[in-house]
Structure 1
């Protein structure tokens, strides 16, 4: 491995391998598809009401509170310390989950897990600060794909262990603890970046613009339950050489903040980017709520103490199906400027219909099928949205826009949690919650259906106006002689 660190031609290999190993083991958590049966089972003996209304909302609140501070801290400390913090937080989460008891301790688990998800930005940001720009697309694909593979593998393994070997949920959590401990070890081996995108960037060096077509791919589909599309902070500049930048004074930090605000304002003045970002934020908020509470719905439809549980298989199939659908979209040629928002409307209708099915059905298999449709549709569209938003943005603006979109999604999700789930709000049962979520996606579908009709109408009007202008343009007249023959205009 030392040769990887010293050879310029392969300097990107060592950090990429270590980061991919960290990503694999951090997502190799076979206990996650069976979290709710574990909490409601003999090990923790928590009621469905306690889990739904008192414990799970803490994750949403902590994620929202920590996201922006961690976003700024990640760049300032140059990524690696935040990745190490993420690895440590994962270990702490599973230690508390294994040996803690009671509602308060489980709320602490959710808070620490909120720190885990908030620090995921460092995982996607790190690689852009230690590899050269020509490797960005390749390395991004590796880092995203490995987490998807890990989550799918963990789900399949968990289902096999539960169904065939009768392994307890406690032992699944022990396996998860072992895996995240390995991830924490690999985080310590990462080399420290020499610079970052904002606070430690080389003066006067702009980030390269991302060529259209390079921004997204099937690997951009979200990885795993509760992984909300944490898109990368990317670092500009060269990797090799250069002394470390000295810490910026407060005035420099203030200038950076002002520059962020100006960049965001300029980005969102583009109507196309604004509406795709709006869909991204609205849908991600709803998606987070669904994946956060779907296990409780499954336990409500078919209690884990009285029936077989296939959560792992369903999660694996849903993740794989979404990845295949997203990959297939890379080979479909569509005029997204014209039909993109119509696609958002149509698939939002599909999402709403699948959630209504999950609410109204009494059959657990129909409920599973609804979730498969919902997750696959979301992963398909989020891949398209990532490409549409990021295709022509610089690396810095790519980070800022997705960071802001994620923050807006969390604000919306927090409002939904307070109103729909929290005991201080409506305190709805889990089945009624999914009726609300289905209605929410129906509203999203209505917004973008109206918008798409408007776009198609304008396109038709422009086409008719262009045809009329062509028809009414006078034909070029040529001089003719007395017999009507065209005279030559040559001298």
Structure 2
């Protein structure tokens, strides 16, 4: 029996190893920091306006269109098929980048890249379906660390090959194609999960007794059903789908899961704390993705790649390193996030806005690079805090659901920004004016959370003052009553 338990506990190592290899190769794309110079250079001979206003927006639109169906399909087919689809999407993307020509072909590149981005949810969700909860923290650390390492290695390698070996952007893309092809091969070795978070759940613990709804409490932070332990399963989910397979048709099962997901979302967003952290997450992620999508265009405008040295890879490597450092130091920050969390959101969002305004007003490429480093480091610091604050009181199922829905809202906001600001059918603003808009966008976010945090701090101070006054009054009254009792006893004597 002991040997069987030991063997079961070791089953997490093989899928984790393969998933880490997959994550390394699919993130090891040295050509990504040089995409804009490649498209506007002699290989593709596209104009900067075509790249900005006609090609790059397609990624946002395809990502939005595919995110929700892919989220459901990923869970329904149990992750591995979607990882295979991601590998195929990456291969098609780089084949088109290498050998296709014209605006339409590059729009197809952005479509397939949007599909690959939408299927990324399978990478982070897969591991939780094949390992026990005891290994969640370790495996998550491995998977996230390997992707950061791969992104850094790719950026450094790309910069060294361009600057020192004079390797062309075409050959950088060939290296990226080889890397994503290796990732695709790695995905074949992943074992097929037997469970998933929503459609194929397996509850190993006996069902909990039905709670007495007449005494169910709802605190100031929303329903208690949203405050769960990490490894727990919601009591209101009912029996797993497998138990109902004999008397439930597939479309009924899907409908039941969708209804349950809707209830879970309603319960979790009724918590004010989760609502405001999620609001920042969605708004800031929309702006971050927009900046990330068009930063190379701004760099190319400030220092044209055909006449200047390009250091995009070095900047991305430093930005990734700073992001990993800021994410790492969060665990050592001893702060009451319930009180000062929104103040931090406001302050660092203001710093993000300032860095974007710097990129708009300066004409110096090095100032643009510095602004980008500050912007990305601040965002990664805050998103790590927000992720922790949202996840700390949720089960894995509800955290995955809120993560997906927050990203969906962020993508809707990003799509609105793209249509209005970037797309040639909208305002079609030039790249410098776009960054003025993005800076103003983050300034509004900062203003909202700074005002709200100041109101919260003032309200909290007033409540503490009132509570202290009441306590002193009670102590004084208790002291007087004791004196009266003593006086009365002395009189009787």
Same fold (TM over 0.5): yes
Q: Return closer, same or farther for 1:450/1:63 CA change in 2, 3 Å cut-off.
A: same
Distance in 2, Cα, partners of 1:87 & 1:483: 88
CA contact (8 A) 1:194 1:243 kept: no
CA deviation after TM superposition for structure 1 residue 475, in Å: 1.8
Which residue matches 1:270?
271
1:92–1:112 contact (8 Å) kept in structure 2: yes
CA shift for structure 1 position 446: 0.7
Distance in 1 between residues matched to 2:182 and 2:491, nearest whole Å: 90
| Residues 229 and 395, structure 2, Cα contact 8 Å, conserved in 1 | no
Contact kept in structure 2, 1:201 and 1:245, CA below 8 Å: no
Deviation digits for residues 396-429 of structure 1 (CA, Å, limit 9, x no counterpart): 1101111110000000000000000001100000
Compared with structure 1, are the counterparts of its residues 369 and 210 closer, same or farther at alpha carbon in structure 2 (3 Å cutoff)? Answer: farther
**Which residue of 1 is the match for residue 257 of structure 2?**
256
Q: 1:320 deviation in Å?
A: 0.5
Aligned residue for 2:166?
166
Q: Distance between the aligned counterparts of 2:227 and 2:262, measured in 1? A: 19
Q: Counterpart in 2 of 1:104?
A: 104
CA distance in 1, matches of 2:311, 2:249: 52
Shift of 1:7: 2.9
User: Shift in Å at residue 328 of structure 1?
Assistant: 1.2
1:359 aligns with 2:360: yes
Residue 444 to residue 190, structure 1, CA distance change in 2 (3 Å): same
Structure 2 CA distance for aligned equivalents of residues 203 and 333 of structure 1: 36
CA distance in 1, matches of 2:135, 2:488: 72
Check conservation: 1:351, 1:374, Cα contact below 8 A.
yes
Would the aligned equivalents of 2:83 and 2:123 in 1 still touch at CA under 8 Å?
Answer: yes
Paired with 1:257 and 1:107, the residues of 2 have a C-alpha distance of: 33
Matched, 1:116 2:116: yes
Deviations 1:285-311 (A, max 9, x none): 000000100000000000000000000
User: Residues 468, 17 of structure 1: CA spacing in aligned structure 2 closer, same or farther, 3 A cutoff?
Assistant: same
How big is each residue's C-alpha offset from its partner over 1:344-372, in whole Å with a ceiling of 9 and x where there is no partner?
00001000000000011010000100000
The residue aligned with 1:25 is: 25
- Report the Cα distance in structure 2 between the residues aligned to 1:311 and 1:399, rounded to whole angstroms: 33
Deviation at 1:253, TM superposition (A): 1.1
Query: Structure 1 residues 454 and 209, CA, compared in 2 at 3 Å: closer, same or farther?
Result: closer
Distance 1:256 1:486, change over 3 A: farther
Mapped partners of 2:73, 2:492: distance in 1:
78
Where does the alignment leave 5 or more consecutive residues of structure 2 unmatched? 209-225, 232-236
State how far apart, in whole Å, the 2-side matches of 1:485 and 1:398 are. Answer: 68
Residue in 2 that maps onto 1:307: 308
Aligned counterparts of 1:410 and 1:263: Cα–Cα separation in 2:
21
Aligned to 2:438: 437
Residue 14 of structure 2 corresponds to: 14
Kept after mapping to 2: 8 A contact 1:264/1:401: yes
CA contact (8 A) 1:195 1:245 kept: no
Q: Could you tell me how far apart the structure 1 residues matched to 2:132 and 2:173 are?
A: 38
CA distance in structure 2 between the partners assigned to 1:211 and 1:306 by the alignment: 57
1:58 partner SS: helix
Q: Could you tell me how far apart the structure 1 residues matched to 2:185 and 2:489 are?
A: 95
Q: CA 1:178/1:485 → structure 2, altered by over 3 Å: closer, same or farther?
A: farther
1:475 paired residue number: 478
CA-atom RMSD in angstroms: 2.5
Aligned to 1:283: 284
CA contact (8 A) 2:343 2:453 kept: yes
Mapped partners of 1:267, 1:174: distance in 2: 45
Q: Is the 8 A contact 1:199 1:248 kept in 2?
A: no
Q: Which residue of 1 aligns with 2:391?
A: 390
- Write out aligned runs for 1:88-103 (5 A): 88-103=88-103
**Secondary structure of the structure 1 residue equivalent to 2:486:** coil
Give the number of the structure whose residues are more often helix, by fraction.
Answer: 2
CA distance in 1, matches of 2:105, 2:412: 25
Structure 1 residue 197, shift from structure 2 partner: 1.3
TM-score normalised to structure 1 length: 0.89
User: Structure 1's 321 and 245: CA in aligned 2 closer, same or farther, altered over 3 A?
Assistant: farther
CA distance in 2, matches of 1:261, 1:483: 67
Whether the 8 Å contact between 1:200 and 1:244 is mirrored in structure 2 is: no
Aligned partner of 2:219 in structure 1 is none
Corresponding residue for 1:458? 459
Secondary structure of the 1:194 match is coil
1:77 match: 77
Give the paired residue count.
Answer: 458
Shift of 1:202: 2.5
- 1:329 Cα deviation (Å)? 1.8
Equivalent in the alignment of 1:222: none
- Find the aligned partners of 1:458 and 1:92 in 2 and give their Cα distance: 56
Mapped partners of 1:35, 1:173: distance in 2: 9
**Structure 1 residue 243, shift from structure 2 partner:** 11
Structure-2 change in CA distance of 1:412 and 1:102 (3 Å): same
Question: Does the 8 Å contact 1:194/1:244 carry over to 2?
Answer: no
Give the whole-Å Cα distance in 1 for the aligned partners of 2:61 and 2:434: 18
Once the 2 structures are TM-superposed, how far is the Cα of residue 471 of structure 1 from its aligned partner?
1.5
